[in-house]
Amino acid sequence: MDTVAATGQPGVSLSIDGTVATIRLQRPERRNALTPDDLHQLLAMCERINGDATVRTVVLTSDTFAHKRPVFCAGYDVGQFDETAHDPRLFERTVDAIAQLRPVVIGAVNGSVYGGATDLVLACDLRIALADCEFRMPACALGLHYYPGGFQRFVNVLGIDGAKQAFLTARPLAVAQLAALGVFTAVCTTEEFSATLNSLVNDVVALAPLAAQGTKATLNELARGVCDPAAQREREALTLRSADFAEGRKAWAERRPAQFKGR
């Protein structure tokens, strides 16, 4: 395993094992709340992942072993807003970087999610969640109007009525309720969580990388209201002439798993 730790920063880590990169939030004693240093580390990790063509899937998860009631992430450390050097756009840039990662991102949400961490979860392409957890956006209860990209992700994933319920009540929403809206691919028990995550990772890793990553880019554009047929045709042409498409057709005819190389 190629492991890259967040040097000098205990809050986040990155490990790369073959085609799978794992970003882990690891400050359980603070409910995995994110500091500016953590966000800078996450930005650097995104850059490293995008530069490693072997990575096909990213798992975003957290350490919750210290919690009686697990918390995936309590969001941004609101105490940082009082710091004179506070950058109000840093959190937004970090979540956008997660959303724009080249590989498919799976949110392994092994606890409740609060504040800005709700947007971090929505920035993932696919998500599984631990049962009996909650999802709460308290921005209006804190006196804060949220940033544009976060609003867009809430509306894209939850729909306008779901986004209004999250923001305009500030009430916790059960992950089972959100699963009914399509937010989570699966909601599972602690005992089922690892197997459910591994199954989803394996399914994503088995996809042809050029096709999956190009499709993700197109779907993200459409979610932002951007329609670029020329870019979509270019991605289509790239896959049509790829060795992976030839291998996919051959494997389909031979009724065997395809061995994609990403070219």
Spatial CB neighbours of 56, under 8 Å, sequence gap ≥ 6: 19, 20, 103, 104, 204, 205, 207, 209, 212, 262
Residue 135 bridge partners (DSSP):
113, 173
Report the C-alpha dihedral over residues 220, 20, 36, 129, rounded to 10 degrees: 70
Residues 101/46, Cβ–Cβ less than 8 Å:
yes
Count how many Cα atoms sit within 13 Å of the Cα of residue 155 in the half-sphere of its side chain: 11
Average pLDDT, the chain: 90
Give per-residue pLDDT as tens, 62-109: 998 777 889 999 988 766 555 556 677 899 999 999 999 999 999 999
- For residue 95, which of 71, 72, 70, 75 has the smallest C-alpha distance? 75
Total length of the chain: 263
Q: Specify the pLDDT at position 10.
A: 76
**CATH architecture type of domain 2-205:** Alpha-Beta Complex (3.90)
Residue that the structure tokens 């030839």 belong to: 246
Give me 67's structure tokens: 């919690």
| % of the chain surpassing 90 pLDDT | 71
pLDDT above 90 for 224: no
- In terms of phi and psi (left: phi > 0; alpha: psi -120 to 50; beta: otherwise), the region of 75 is left
Q: Which amino acid is at 262?
A: G
Give me 205's structure tokens: 């890793």
Domain ranges (residues) in the chain: 2-205, 209-254
Q: Specify the pLDDT at position 8.
A: 38
Give per-residue pLDDT as tens, 127-151: 999 998 999 999 999 898 999 999 9
pTM exceeds cut of 0.75: yes
Integer Cα distance of 34 and 32 in angstroms: 6
